[in-house]
Amino acid sequence: MSDLPYRAVTRTAKLASLPMGMAGRAALGLGKRIGGRPAELVAQELQQRTAEQIFRVLGELKGGALKLGQALSIFEAALPPEIAGPYRATLTRLQESAPPLPTAAVYRVLAADLGPDWRDLFAEFDDHPAAAASIGQVHHAIWQDGRQVAVKIQYPGAGKALSNDFAQLSRVGWLFGALMPGLDVKPVLDELRTRVVEELDYKLEAQAQQAFADAFADDPDIAIPGVVTATDHVLVSEWMEGTPLAEVIAEGSQERRDAVGMLLVRFLFSGPERARMLHADPHPGNFRVLPDGRLGVLDFGAVDRLPDGLPAIFGRLLWLMHHDGDIATVEHELREHGFLRPGVTVDLDELRVFLAPLAEPSRGDSFAFSREWMRSEAARYSDLRTANVARRLNLPPTYVLIHRVSTAGIGVLCQLDCTGEFRSEVLRWVPGYGPATETADVA
């Protein structure tokens, strides 16, 4: 596959190395236990080394596997920071350094999807990509009616590479059970496969983007570019000029970073009610700050379709954690919604410690997100007892993307180092928040 970094046989060999490495580490772990090392410490070491190999291999493959690696970031909650941190950094570096598609290949895709006279659709077309990612790249152009547009072009072979990678990975899905013993791995991998494959469908992405654009039309705070046209491998949208969020993170004033943080929270939490969808890829590259101060949002390939809005369990859990509710009721809610599988038990005091920071940003009227707070949370997660709670929790497939948004969104807010009255924004949009849950019948 000339347009992706590795041929199919090489990609398959790399993925096939995962179970062999796991077997070797298991044998080594058995030897250590026989030698007298505590079983819990040996198991933790085995999990760390397995995670390190999994994410290193996925990061090296790029293409479909890079997109898969981004999706698998849901497993980071079970990883110690010395693994999770470098993994995130590797994915970012690989995505930013993705080699551009040769101009001739760009022309072939445009001709195949828009017709041999595709140039007639544009007044101008810039051959040099304005941005490149894991499965495609974006070109700046001027549409035939004079509008500036972004032309998103999918790499030839990206779909096949992704399908092959996932088929291979599914055969060794049990490896992820070593990272999180409480996780029902197969349905989660099936859900991830469905979601990642959806990102290859540019027509589906166009539908989602236009639905968001309609829902936020004339909004004073949020801007979504409208769709001009879409095919299987080409998506043409209105061009959005603005300051990249990464630049605001690096150089923005405190006032500007605070304002952008509030807009980001407002967009993410209001989407499920206003558009009945959740934007599921909140990394800095997908946001711009427009000259008029609005937050511009890009890339709707990954969305969670929520026809009934955000599930009310999140509001119920927030209420319980904010009001120091009975932790047994919290455990009951988690079990009822599949976050704890039958037969899996957790220490309730450790569960409260584990969940408390998730509710902390909306407990008081104002909260300050910071890298220091994130580092303290990472250190707390690496504590053996707390990490054990994370590994015993299950992730129901329907909550995969919500979890992804929660972790990634908090990460961006900490990069912004922003302070704001996030509580009012969260409670405005999260259903189910109220005292009734404190009297819930506990099984």
Both tokens assigned to 228: 């001009």
R_g of the chain, CA atoms, integer Å: 23
Q: Which of 113, 281, 299, 417 is catalytic?
A: 281
Helix (H, G, I), strand (E, B) or coil at 262: helix
Map tokens 């999990």 to a residue. 47
CA 72 to chain centre: 8
Token pair for 213: 């654009």
User: Distance of alpha carbon 420 from its chain centroid, rounded?
Assistant: 23
Please give the backbone phi and psi of residue 231, each rounded to the nearest 5 degrees, phi first: -130, -170
Give the span between the Cα atoms of 215 and 193, in whole angstroms: 28
281 classed as catalytic: yes
Q: DSSP H helical segments within 275-364, as ranges?
A: 313-322, 327-336, 348-359
CA of residue 281 relative to chain centroid, distance: 5
- Beta-bridge partners for 188: none
* DSSP code for 310: S
Write down the residue that tokens 């166009």 correspond to: 206
Helix (H, G, I), strand (E, B) or coil at 169: helix
What residues are labeled active site?
A: 281
